[in-house]
A and B are shown apart, each in its own frame.
Chain A
Amino acid sequence: MLDQWLPENVSTFGQGVDNLFHAIYWLTLVVFILVIGTLIVFLIKYRHQEGKKADYIEGSTTLEIVWTAATTVIVFVLAMFSYPQWNNIKSPTQFPENPDVVVQVSGKQFNWDMTYPGPDNEFGTDDDLVLENELHVPVNAVVHIRLTSVDVIHSFFVPQLRLKQDALPNRFINVWFEATKAGRYEIPCAELCGFGHSGMLGYLNVHTQADYDAWVQERWP
């Protein structure tokens, strides 16, 4: 039910995130129904009735062990399934190598600066291209982003990619994604960064390969 509110997923690792979301959703739903169900049954069944005394029960070691062990097992199983997903998204050693596109994204109050290295693939040279708030990438291609900020902490968030990463001043953090569907997606800033935080907004343009090539051709003829 909750999951129907998720925006469409358009990244390769997004499905893994969604699967975990669903798994936890069902896990917590079952736990919730069991706990609240038991609670309601107890409240009705053991409500005060004239002439009926409560039982004297101090506890049960067996039961304590059972629910301690059960919760521990559930927690560790859940964790085991989550490590690889997390590493896949955030561990630089596990990023797909040889990215098709590398972009530097820099947050500043209150815009995103997108810097393309140009044909020489090096930042800081003359053929760099800086765009404000518009990020262009091809579909089905591995994109690496060097994320940074010039003032305070911002957070690069693309809901449809299931990707979020804070941008820190004076530090470069690498993130990656591979979009699976062409389109124009919003890049809100997700970390409070001052009075313009609300409305700090960029756009991710995912083009088909042909469109992207045309775009590149136009910029660096």
Chain B
Amino acid sequence: MHDNEHASHDHEESFIRKYIFSLDHKTIGKQFLIYGLIMFFVGGGLALLFRWQLAYPDQPLPIIGASQQYIDEGEVVTGADRMWERIYESDKEEWLEVSMPSGVITPEFYNMLFTMHATIMVFFVVVPILVGAFGNFLIPLMIGTRDMAFPILNMLSFWLAVLAAIVMVMGFFVPGGHASAGWTGYAPLSSDAQWTGVEWGLNLWAISLLLQGFSSLVGSINYITTIINMRAPGMTFFRMPLVIWSLFIVAILLLLAFPVLSSALALLIFDRLAGTTFFSATAEGGGDPLLWQHLFWFFGHPEVYILILPGMGIASELIPVFSRKPIFGYRSMVYAMIAIAFLGWIVWGHHMFQSGMRSGMGNFFMTTTMLIAVPSAIKTFNWLGTMFRGSIRFTTPMLHGIAFVSMFVIGGLSGIYMANTPVDVYIHDTYFIVAHIHYVVFGGSLFAIFGGIIFWFPKMYGRYMNDALSKIHFWLTFIAFNCTFFPMHILGVGAHMRRIANPTQYEYLQGFEGMNIFITMSAFTLGFAQLILVFNFFWSMYKGKAAEQNPWQVNTLEWEAPTPVPHGNFGQIPTVYRGPYEYSVPGEESDWIPQAEPEHAPATSGD
């Protein structure tokens, strides 16, 4: 090939090729980001709906409820009803009537809400943003290449994900309503429509996840190939930034884990549509209800590390940059991630301690699960070590990085309670688990996502995000998050079960009403805070302060590329001379040496 110098300006692309069916990894990354943010609002909105029910059981929802009342009873209660009236007058949505008669959430609908909340948050928000958006945007830029190995597959991966999201959201509008067997879809509840009354909703759920599986498969093949084969000269594996390591490991996990879920989903679809009985024990010649759980969690536990590892990677970028210090123990950070990924395959039984497994198996899974505390400890202490004797700058991305570390520690430590089999007998399926989930996925993954967005925004859009708004968003989120989810530990210790639509039905939970109301109000605040983020994101895209090429003075290669990054990324592929975290090297004038800076050359400043 001779066209070394092919940059974007020499061929104009049509709007569709450039923004819709783009083959450029950066555009696809941004598409995944916006897709994930939109779905975040869908998933979060569902959470707010069922939080209302938990705080005020069987009371009509505000606004929506009143409009339903209007439809049912023909009376206008508030001004907002007029809006809903217009939306619904032409065609009364049957499902809304069934699921929310007079605006009260029925128990069936409650089950659909948390099922879809979790499904959307896990498969359509956190994975697409962490892996789809950051993976696509960062991998080629940070390893110094022009694009992914298979750009067409890359585009396919995004559009398959869009299709999956459309199928998933469609489930709400089919007769019988959406999947309501929890995001874990335990059989036989999920495998036979007679137990839930849900017909096509659950089929669509399974089909959508199969599509999402194809999307991840294509994406992970792309990532693995690109990282192995297309690193810039001098970019050895152990000079790769840790976020690339994390994405590499996650791609392998996705590649190997998702097909197991696909096989389980295929069996589920056969059970539901073709009359097989793989998961139904009651039918003649029938199967095994625990089989689903084994297949699901064999996928599911690696999946939760898919949700956290890229977050760890992002934190490992933010903390050294803003402490102006090398990451503490680079290699042990890499080995720790590999250890987490490896151990993740042999702990799935910890979700099934109370399912009737033999007690010996319980002992095995308890031990392996608690062992994951070891590589997690290595990571945590290395982040602390990175800040030790540093020169810490409290930029907003750094605040998110610090929040990530501290919230992940809380979530991880609560994991130890659950890993402990005797204690899990008591706290399994209580709000203690819900608290754990959200401390790791919101406190962990989402804080890393927020930090990552603000950190790389200047490279993505050539502008800064508004810092005042970012700071308000951070503090509101940090406080509201803890107010929402910390009390859930207490609910759990009080044996408040998860997945119940109405806690007031239980005598021993009578004392918790106030706490549930407090949690709901905090959750609404948390949701409101996210509006600030989204407003800031889109506003800054057009109106933000213009950013220079390397505003945070970072060593890694993505900041070598001009801003905005042209098609093909680099004028000339950079050569890498050193590791990614050479900050504050003794005897150097500047406190950072970019990876592409030739040896012994005097260090230059940013732009």
Minimum C-beta distance from A44 to chain B (A): 9
Residues on the A chain within 8 Å of B371, using CB: 72, 75
B490 pairs with A5, CB closer than 8 A = yes
Q: Interface residues of A: mostly helix, strand, loop or mixed?
A: mixed
A30-61 vs B, CB cutoff 8 Å, 1 = contact: the mask equals: 01100110110011001111001111111110
Residues on the A chain within 8 Å of B551, using CB: none
Q: Interface residues of B: mostly helix, strand, loop or mixed?
A: helix
B356 pairs with A47, CB closer than 8 A = no
Residue among A21, A24, A153 with the most chain B CB within 10 A?
A153
Residues on the A chain within 8 Å of B355, using CB: 153, 166, 168
Q: A47-B394, A165-B354 are in contact. Are A75 and B373 (CB under 8 A)?
A: yes
B410 pairs with A32, CB closer than 8 A = yes
A64 pairs with B332, CB closer than 8 A = yes
Residues on the B chain within 8 Å of A90, using CB: 359, 362, 421, 425
Residues on the B chain within 8 Å of A46, using CB: 323, 387-392
Q: How far is the CA of A129 from the CA of B370 in the complex (A)?
A: 44
Residues on the B chain within 8 Å of A56, using CB: 325-326, 583-586
Q: A17-B426, A151-B195, A192-B181 are in contact. Are A55 and B584 (CB under 8 A)?
A: yes
A169 pairs with B281, CB closer than 8 A = yes
Q: Which of A16, A86, A169, A193 makes the CB contact (< 8 A) with B359?
A: A86
B406 pairs with A36, CB closer than 8 A = yes
Q: How far is the CA of A43 from the CA of B392 in the complex (A)?
A: 7
In residues 152-183 of chain B, which contact A (Cβ within 8 Å)?
180-182
A17 pairs with B423, CB closer than 8 A = yes
Minimum C-beta distance from A133 to chain B (A): 13
Select from chain B the residue with minimum beta-carbon distance to A67. Answer: B381
Minimum C-beta distance from A194 to chain B (A): 6
Q: How far is the CA of A57 from the CA of B388 in the complex (A)?
A: 9
Residues on the A chain within 8 Å of B497, using CB: 157, 188, 190
B380 pairs with A159, CB closer than 8 A = no
The stretch that binds B, out of A111-119, A120-128, A197-205, A211-219, is A197-205
Q: A168-B281, A169-B282, A192-B186 are in contact. Are A20 and B425 (CB under 8 A)?
A: no
B493 pairs with A60, CB closer than 8 A = no
Minimum C-beta distance from B292 to chain A (A): 10
B276 interface residue, CB < 8 Å from A? no
Q: How far is the CA of A100 from the CA of B391 in the complex (A)?
A: 69
Residues on the B chain within 8 Å of A59, using CB: 326, 328-332, 382, 385
Minimum C-beta distance from B349 to chain A (A): 13
Interchain Cβ contacts under 8 Å between A and B, 8 examples? A48-B393, A67-B378, A152-B186, A164-B425, A168-B356, A171-B281, A195-B111, A199-B505
* 9 interchain residue pairs of minimum CB distance: A59-B329, A159-B495, A170-B281, A91-B359, A198-B500, A55-B389, A85-B422, A54-B391, A86-B421
